[in-house]
Structure 1
Amino acid sequence: MNIVIGSKNPTKINAVSNIFKEANVASLDVPSRVSAQPFSDEETREGAINRAMQCALSTKGFIGIGLEGGVMYVGDRLYLCNWGALVTEDEKVFTASGARIVLPSEIDEALRTGKELGLIMDNYAKRQEVRKKEGAIGIFTNDLITREEMFTHVVKLLRGQWEYWNNVEK
């Protein structure tokens, strides 16, 4: 099995490698074709699909996976959200979403200035490369859930759907 993930971010690559241990996993830096900071469930999902589709079409015989982090409002509260997409060789699309937690109001205010969450989190947590390590989810759950774990859960949901439909179609 061959998989291309649409990111060079180690948390995303590790999430795919954790769930597809038997696969040859390659990574490709592809654009999400959405805002640098997705601001809705729909936009975050679209970014994941765009990444996965580009990967699936990049190399014959490969499955594409896209993982995208974003934020979304529920009422007047801003939540962290994440989406994943798996696209097969014949362009079947599977999507899944994962954990959501409310973000502090100062994060919401900073995002409204046009900055990306990853950069805001570096300042907020006084750390470097938060997006490539624990992620905002790690900061705000006291490292009980890391960004890699959050995306690993999404990849499990993708793999489970893909395997189910492969078995149903046989």
Structure 2
Amino acid sequence: MRNSLPSTEIKVIVGSKNPVKLKCTQDAFQQVFPDNKITVEGAAVPSDVSDQPMTDEETWIGAKNRSHHARNSYPESDYWVGIEGGITDSPQKMEAFAWVYILSRDANGDARTSAFQLPPKIQELVRQGIELGEADDIVFNRSNSKQSNGAVGILTKDLINRADYYQPAVVLALIPFINPDLY
């Protein structure tokens, strides 16, 4: 049995109101729990990290914090999801990625997306303190791209949009819930 919950309805709170994060969570939970009715809602909660996390650890902490704040705000739900996008910067390259952290009443799971290299113009803006989404908007003359296809969508010419990019990490973060006897 793939679903460890006795109910056929699963309520999920995402620690964000971003429609991309809500969609990837809805799609991933429906994929993992296909026989259940999945209800996903967003909650505006803080990450307690920088607007643009600049390390793997800070990004993971942001995702974890979002899931915990979502649980504190909506304790009646079944799952709480935090998704946080971040950057790693080294002399060789700057890469973008995200962490997903999922809580239930008795377990947790996390997973990281793949990473991709950012173009030099965007790297320069991010190094000046501009958040990646805003840097994308500046470089590509867009508006609010982080709530649509994001950097990954823009750079892949929508071969991979932001929701598609996050969804596998949400599924991977659900591994402990798919296999509770192993965790």
Is TM-score (shorter-chain normalized) higher than 0.5?
A: yes
**Structure 2 match to 1:108:** 123
- State whether residues 61 and 89 of structure 1, in contact with CA within 8 Å, keep that contact through their aligned partners in structure 2: no
Q: Which amino acid aligns with 2:46?
A: P
- State whether residues 11 and 148 of structure 1, in contact with CA within 8 Å, keep that contact through their aligned partners in structure 2: yes
Could you list the structure 1 runs, at least 4 aligned residues long, displaced by more than 3 angstroms after superposition: none
Structure 2: distance between partners of 1:43 and 1:50? 10
Q: Which amino acid aligns with 1:23?
A: I
**Structure 1 match to 2:83:** 67
Q: Secondary structure of 2:129's match? A: coil
- State whether residues 149 and 162 of structure 2, in contact with CA within 8 Å, keep that contact through their aligned partners in structure 1: yes
Structure 2: distance between partners of 1:16 and 1:75? 34
2:21 is aligned with 1:12 = yes
- Taking only the aligned residue pairs, the percentage that are identical comes to 32
Q: Which amino acid aligns with 1:49?
A: K
**Structure 1 match to 2:3:** none
Deviation at 1:36, TM superposition (A): 0.3
Deviation at 1:160, TM superposition (A): 2.6
Gaps of 5+ in 1: none
Q: Secondary structure of 2:12's match? A: strand
Q: Secondary structure of 1:70's match? A: strand
Counterpart among 67, 72, 80 of residue 96 in structure 2:
80
Gaps of 5+ in 2: 1-9, 31-36
Structure 2: distance between partners of 1:104 and 1:15? 25
Q: Which amino acid aligns with 1:18?
A: D
**Structure 2 match to 1:57:** 72
Q: Secondary structure of 1:148's match? A: helix
Structure 2: distance between partners of 1:50 and 1:14? 20
| TM-score using structure 1 length | 0.92
Structure 1: distance between partners of 2:175 and 2:141? 37
What is the CA deviation profile of residues 133-152 of structure 1, one whole-angstrom value per residue up to 9, with x for unaligned ones? 11001111121111111111
Counterpart among 33, 38, 51 of residue 23 in structure 1:
38
Q: Secondary structure of 1:38's match? A: coil
Q: Which amino acid aligns with 2:123?
A: D
Structure 1: distance between partners of 2:49 and 2:110? 17
> Aligned-residue CA RMSD in angstroms?
1.5
